[in-house]
Homo-oligomer: A and B are copies of this chain.
Amino acid sequence: MAVYLPKGTRDFLPEQMRTRLFVLDTVRSVFSRFGFEPLETPAFERIETLTGKYGDEGDKLIYKILKRGAGAERGECDQALRYDLTVPLARVVAMNPDLRMPFKRYQTQPVWRADRPQRGRFREFWQCDCDVVGTKSPLAEAECIAVALAALDALGLPGAVIRLNDRRILRSIAVAAGAADKEIPFLICLDKLDKIGRDKVSAEFGRLGLDDAAVAGVWDVLTVPDGHDPALDSLEAALDDAGREGVDTLRAVLDAVGRMGVALDRVQIDPTLARGLDYYTGPVFEISLPAGDIGSVGGGGRYDGLVGMFSGRDVPAVGIALGIERIIMVLEEQGKLSSQRTTADVLVTVFSDEQRNTSLSFATRLRSAGVKTDLYLGEGNLKKQLKYANARGYPNIVIIGPDESERGEVTVRNLDSGEQSKLSAGDAVRSLTHS
């Protein structure tokens, strides 16, 4: 029987799992340090819960699950796999009116999208979200930004920077350009600036019906001076009241972010940043690493409309997501974590059938002392076991032959240095506990 994996999915063998567990544990611990609390939701939701939330393109990518029983023959489906972690959060908030607000939760779980698989894009991948539900305070934005940067720092990826904009500023720019009635197409063009450059975006603005003066006016507004205050002052002068509300909010977010210990040169005002246009209602942000072509490793914003879709109540919310798959790729490429090591610190070999029990007892002693200890469970002589140990990369091995056994000793060999020493069993436990 031929065996293979569904397209776009992956197994994570122990070597990959070590990186993934390190990343998830680190991120989880930083999230907790900031007072975010864990939440998990089921892999599948009712189809009605998911559809209509991700646009037409998104809806097509939702995996549906066949009904049981009679409905199955008609191809009916009533459930579907989670597409992201935000809609499930909104459902949880709507279903639990007694949750104390503000509710700060983090969630790290896989999501599924029937997308065309390509390098770095999968049909099953993990998301890693922090959200604050139930407050309009700009402190919430600030905490999301601070926690995301702190998580990247803790992962050994310092120097990540964050670009900041506001949905209301984007709309106001469209209004100023006379494009109020085609706001979304206008902003979709603007969003291409990084990829296709100013000339091509100008040409697209022209195709949307903007005259040359209007286009020049747009670039005028978007070209902001360096520094937070000058940039925000310049936007304030150019925009309408709604845009100025966005500017005020960004001032408050920047102030709070600074108080939260984020170096302010890590935050950049970028009025061209256009993401989640259908979705975000206030500040939007995007995180990138300094190194060249990695692109975004996270982002988020305020979405005050979503929870109300489920609950009818007006529930403000803001969140940030780390692009955990890309972060893992970066860490693996940088080789920072690429140890080929097993999870165990030591392999206790089995010299012979006669010596087996001594090895068993010594392995048990090591484990009781908290040492991560593997015991050779296979058949095969010491030579084969040494080959196994070298291939798997244990830092240390223990050998207990008849001589050692008789004297209550064990041989500890460090596989990196090749050094080995005969020690009393007690000394060996102590030396391996501290290695």
Contacts and interface: CB of A to CB of B under 8 A. Distances in A.
Given A35-B342, A95-B3, A374-B104, A40 B65 contact: no
Max chain B Cβ within 10 angstroms of own Cβ: one of A343, A357, A373? A343
* Size bin of chain A's contact surface: 35 or more
Interface string A64-78: 111010001111111
A91 B10 CA distance: 12
Contact of A391 (B12, B32, B66, B100): B100
Interface in A267-324: 309-311
B65 A37 contact: no
Interface string A132-145: 10111101101100
Given A3-B91, A377-B104, A370 B11 contact: no
Identical chains in the assembly: 2
Interface stretch (A181-189, A329-337, A360-368): A360-368
Interface string A42-57: 1111101100000000
A105 to B, nearest CB: 7
A4 B368 CA distance: 47
Contact of A373 (B33, B311, B375, B378): B33
B66 A377 contact: no
Given A1-B310, A66-B75, A260-B364, 8 more contacts: A6-B45, A11-B95, A18-B38, A33-B371, A63-B65, A63-B66, A137-B377, A137-B378
